[in-house]
Structure 1
Amino acid sequence: MAGRIIGVDIGTSLTKAVVFDDAGVSIADACTPSTVHHLPGGRVEQDLDQVIGTVVTVVREVAARLDEPVAALALTGQGDGLWLRDAGGAAVRPALSWLDGRANSVVAKWQASGVSQEVFRHTGSGIFPGCHAALLSYLDEHEPESLDRAVVAGYCVDAVLQRLTGEITVDVSDASLPFLDPVTRTYSAAAIEACGLGHRRGLLAEPAPAGAVFRLNAAGAALLGLPEGLPVTAGPFDLPASAIGAGVREPGDGILTAGTTLACQVLTRDVSWDRDGEPAGMFLATPSPEDYLRAMPAMVGTAGIDWVCGLLGIRVEQIGELLTQSPPGANGVRALPFLSASGERAPFVDAGARAQFAGLSLETTRADLVRALCESVAYAARHCFASAGLSGRLYACGGGVRSAEWTRIFADVLGTGIVIPGDPGVGARGAVFTAGAALGEPFDAEVWARGAHTVAVRPDNAETYERGYRDYLAALDGARPLWRI
């Protein structure tokens, strides 16, 4: 390939651009924060123009460092939420984040009335407050004028793509939740109607075909300082992009993303599901038409660790040290990690889900509280992978695995070694890897997988964590009837 592909990962709080060499090693990168507005009533919003500005900043910075031309731009980023735009790509209102909790009551009503179960029967995906269905329904009732002004109800990545290329489309991975029939990879009219949104069907862009390549238009080229007509790919979004970038290749293999939230995914070619089972999780379509990721993206993760650090007056950098100061089992302290204002979405959906600590005494230390919370997140991961069907190798990425001790806890609780990729930017890696294939110049997957290392299980902790996991499930079963919105 003549030149390099710039991978851009548009995260919730950070946008990062990375350029890789032919061996998948990063040779240039840049990052800049995005602004996330946390508002009363569980509302979480972002400004599209500010997000576009972060993309411009990091792409220009990386491009200026290269001593060879830019061959293409590969976009990935956060999924879910609701990014409403007009025909020119301008936001008709601030974007509603996937973290948004204003539609909690909508989801609770749908769970009670059977709507969530009906959608799950058609799509294999659960509905949660920050997904398209709930947010569209909420705005349809409380802010219909915004939907009336919009031409497209999309996601972050396709909102950026529209601004750079003028194209209105969506990657099939983003479209997977909540309305896509995974068998046909088309929208389920029955699922849309079940949510009472048939009259808003026109806002849903049709998924782009596999391997779609777009081009920078004049406006996009001017923004980025790159040539008009430059190839651009857009997707998959960050969860499947991370799986691709980490090295997930075989059915049964999985990836744990310990980020702001905890994403657990398993590669599968079987899109059958228990249509009367718990309506949670999702089937995420990948660039390969026969491959799907059974995803359980829980709302627990490093955001909870940030919270406990703030509460206890400790620095995040101290987590590893504190984890070594409390033994496996946290001296009897146990936790449920559900700290998100919008509850939980996998492996069950409950907008009222809330956290708890148990087993406290006057002898409980800060280290015990931190370890109990970290162990509870690992138990949540095990619960998710049990539902997703993990049977092969497990990979991991995200800020959480920067803590060696927390990664060891994940391995011990899950009972399997964890492969940590050599380069942490797996989302951008997956986007660039996908772009190479779409442009007809694929990268060597085996070469890109080099440099990884494996965190092994410590057998001495097995009994403690087996008992801890049983206690976690029992505490969860006892808490669920008590949660209220």
Structure 2
Amino acid sequence: MILGVDVGTSVTKASLLGRDGTATVTHGVRSTLRRLPGGRVEQDLDEVLETVLSVVRSVAAEADEPIEALAITGQGDGLWLRDREGHQVGPAISWLDARASSVLDRWHETGVLRRVHELTGAGMFPGSAGPLLAHLAEHDPERLERAEVAGYCVDAIIQRLTGEITVDASDASLPFLDVPTRTYSAEALAACGLESHRRLLAEPAPPGKLFGLDGSMARQLGLPSGLPVSAGPFDLPACALGAGIDEVGDGTLVIGTTLGCQVLRDEVGLVPGAEIAGMWLATPRADRFLRVMPAMVGTANLDWVLAMVGADVGELETLLGNSEPGAGGVSALSFLSSSGERAPFVEPRARGQFTGLSLETRPADLVRAMCEAVAYAARHNLEAAGLTGTVSACGGGAQSAAWSQIFADVLGRPLHVPHEQCVGGRGAAMTAWDSLGEPVDRVQWAADRHVVQPHPRAVEFYERGYRDYLAAIDRARPGWQATAKGRQATPKEAGE
């Protein structure tokens, strides 16, 4: 058995996974996400670590077979500054943080975003490490001086569990890594004005690297000292692996707080002049890469619209069933995040909207319109990532039969949903078994899922709706960009 841990943005889960990919024991605990003025979103590393220790202890106590390894995955991006002993240097900055939006605006105007995208394929957003480091270098340089390492959630936990300073290549991919060679691009660092902070970036661990559980941590967890610990990949690629993605062109849709859209590729394609968005991620295989479009829309949108109409998630199936495709003429743009959108385009000031409202509009129509908008965003991102094969879906949103049907209909493709819900931990466990030299049967893992077939008439309807969605974005973007410049869009810019 392998104990897989997924350190999410708001929930940490641990599962005891067998070689068939099934979890026999799962425990979860919530962690605190602090939203502060100025778009700041932070977490406390010690508290996050305690959530990990809590769920690992609980699962280990129920294990009736030996645990071969501890496999860690978790949220990516953000900035988790630590000292040599692994203690935080200031609160961890979440990937949801918007404090560096002005840095993105400046980099867009000066061509920095374009240059870094040309070098590494990374489309930076406010909550990625590049702009966050630049923001701190300008506003809190002493904090960077005190830090030994600027990393991410997974490697922060690994450092505390094992004492090792490391980073998985998937985490390091955004924004400074030359992904095919797994080395940092000095040119990308220089373009961001951050070459003097190169010392803070840990070298990516080679594929298959395992670490040993520290003795004191082992005693706290009730596990053997030196137990192999696998570090990554972070949650997006871990979910792709856990959902069964295996063939080039296959895609995975992670319907979580945000929407992780990713497609497996066999080469990194940097296209001059392309939209500055998304990222290329290294995977546990040196010859496979993920083209990722991590949109800022997802189940957070569903939670918001349900709260607006005074409903809860338990009523979702009924609400979606009470509104036909097209939501009674109501349509939406789902850009509700305070940091805007980051894929398949970067617009820090992107904002949501409802159109087509009337006195006949019902709560069910608002909910369906938002769910359709998120599904349109999924298609937009998967197409931008180069989808040609099958699509798997996981995350909380995939547990809704009605919403999954909307995704299948909008995509016009069958949606493959794993039965096992601990998909990120599953992908981390798969990676750990590979590192141990005991790979699992990937065909068997991929077969453990159900398939949501698209309805032909709905596919035809949503094809028109998707074109309208793209046109609505084209009309809205000049207004967002004008807001970023501190002025109102002219009627011509706004498409009037």
> Taking structure 2 as the reference length, what is the TM-score of the superposition?
0.96
- The AA in structure 1 aligned to 2:146 is R
Which of 471, 474, 484 aligns to 1:477? It is 474
Counterpart mapping for 1:288-307 below 5 A: 288-307=285-304
Counterpart mapping for 1:177-192 below 5 A: 177-192=174-189
- Asked if 1:422 corresponds to 2:419, the answer is yes
Whether contact under 8 Å (2:180, 2:282) holds in the other structure is no
- Asked if 1:396 corresponds to 2:393, the answer is yes
User: Distance between the aligned counterparts of 1:343 and 1:83, measured in 2?
Assistant: 22
Q: Which residue matches 1:159?
A: 156
5+ residue gaps in structure 1? none
How far is the alpha carbon of 1:184 from its aligned partner? Answer: 1.6
How far is the alpha carbon of 1:275 from its aligned partner? Answer: 2.4
User: Distance between the aligned counterparts of 1:433 and 1:183, measured in 2?
Assistant: 22
Whether contact under 8 Å (1:124, 1:275) holds in the other structure is no
Farther-moved stretch of structure 1 (134-143 vs 212-221)? 212-221
How far is the alpha carbon of 1:451 from its aligned partner? Answer: 2.5
How far is the alpha carbon of 1:60 from its aligned partner? Answer: 0.4
Whether contact under 8 Å (2:123, 2:279) holds in the other structure is yes
How far is the alpha carbon of 1:71 from its aligned partner? Answer: 1.7
- Asked if 1:408 corresponds to 2:405, the answer is yes
Could you give the per-residue CA deviations for residues 286-334 of structure 1, whole angstroms, max 9, x where no partner exists? 0000000100000000001111111221111111111111110111101
- Asked if 1:319 corresponds to 2:354, the answer is no
User: Distance between the aligned counterparts of 2:308 and 2:355, measured in 1?
Assistant: 17
User: Distance between the aligned counterparts of 1:466 and 1:230, measured in 2?
Assistant: 52
Could you give the per-residue CA deviations for residues 44-71 of structure 1, whole angstroms, max 9, x where no partner exists? 0000000000000000000000112222
Q: Which residue matches 1:195?
A: 192
User: Equivalent residue of 2:348, what SS?
Assistant: coil
Q: Which residue matches 2:59?
A: 62
User: Equivalent residue of 1:449, what SS?
Assistant: helix
User: Distance between the aligned counterparts of 1:384 and 1:420, measured in 2?
Assistant: 19
- The AA in structure 1 aligned to 2:123 is G
How far is the alpha carbon of 1:482 from its aligned partner? Answer: 0.4
Q: Which residue matches 1:246?
A: 243
Q: Which residue matches 1:378?
A: 375
- Asked if 1:462 corresponds to 2:459, the answer is yes
- The AA in structure 2 aligned to 1:292 is F
How far is the alpha carbon of 1:424 from its aligned partner? Answer: 1.0
Counterpart mapping for 1:54-453 below 5 A: 54-453=51-450
Whether contact under 8 Å (1:422, 1:452) holds in the other structure is yes
CA gap 1:463/1:447 in 2 versus in 1, 3 angstroms: closer
User: Equivalent residue of 1:118, what SS?
Assistant: helix
- The AA in structure 2 aligned to 1:327 is E
User: Distance between the aligned counterparts of 1:69 and 1:437, measured in 2?
Assistant: 18
How far is the alpha carbon of 1:20 from its aligned partner? Answer: 1.5
User: Distance between the aligned counterparts of 2:373 and 2:90, measured in 1?
Assistant: 37
User: Distance between the aligned counterparts of 1:319 and 1:113, measured in 2?
Assistant: 45
User: Distance between the aligned counterparts of 1:57 and 1:182, measured in 2?
Assistant: 35
Whether contact under 8 Å (1:108, 1:350) holds in the other structure is no
Could you give the per-residue CA deviations for residues 97-139 of structure 1, whole angstroms, max 9, x where no partner exists? 0000111111111111110000000001101000000110111
> Taking structure 1 as the reference length, what is the TM-score of the superposition?
0.98
How far is the alpha carbon of 1:223 from its aligned partner? Answer: 3.1
- The AA in structure 2 aligned to 1:456 is Q
User: Distance between the aligned counterparts of 1:375 and 1:358, measured in 2?
Assistant: 13
How far is the alpha carbon of 1:449 from its aligned partner? Answer: 2.3
Farther-moved stretch of structure 1 (307-316 vs 368-377)? 307-316
Which of 16, 39, 58 aligns to 1:19? It is 16
Moved over 2 A (4+): none
User: Distance between the aligned counterparts of 1:140 and 1:289, measured in 2?
Assistant: 33
User: Distance between the aligned counterparts of 1:422 and 1:445, measured in 2?
Assistant: 15
- The AA in structure 2 aligned to 1:257 is V
User: Distance between the aligned counterparts of 2:186 and 2:303, measured in 1?
Assistant: 41
Task: Report how many residues are paired.
Answer: 482
How far is the alpha carbon of 1:39 from its aligned partner? Answer: 0.8
User: Distance between the aligned counterparts of 1:38 and 1:223, measured in 2?
Assistant: 31
User: Equivalent residue of 2:68, what SS?
Assistant: strand
- Asked if 1:36 corresponds to 2:33, the answer is yes
Q: How large is the RMSD of aligned CA atoms in angstroms? A: 0.9
User: Distance between the aligned counterparts of 2:152 and 2:285, measured in 1?
Assistant: 21
Could you give the per-residue CA deviations for residues 424-464 of structure 1, whole angstroms, max 9, x where no partner exists? 11100000000001011111112222331100010011232
User: Distance between the aligned counterparts of 1:25 and 1:184, measured in 2?
Assistant: 34
User: Equivalent residue of 1:387, what SS?
Assistant: helix
Whether contact under 8 Å (1:83, 1:154) holds in the other structure is yes
Identical-residue share of aligned pairs (%): 60
How far is the alpha carbon of 1:220 from its aligned partner? Answer: 2.2
User: Distance between the aligned counterparts of 2:172 and 2:267, measured in 1?
Assistant: 19
User: Equivalent residue of 1:70, what SS?
Assistant: coil
How far is the alpha carbon of 1:221 from its aligned partner? Answer: 1.5
Whether contact under 8 Å (2:251, 2:263) holds in the other structure is yes
- Asked if 1:51 corresponds to 2:48, the answer is yes
Whether contact under 8 Å (2:279, 2:291) holds in the other structure is yes
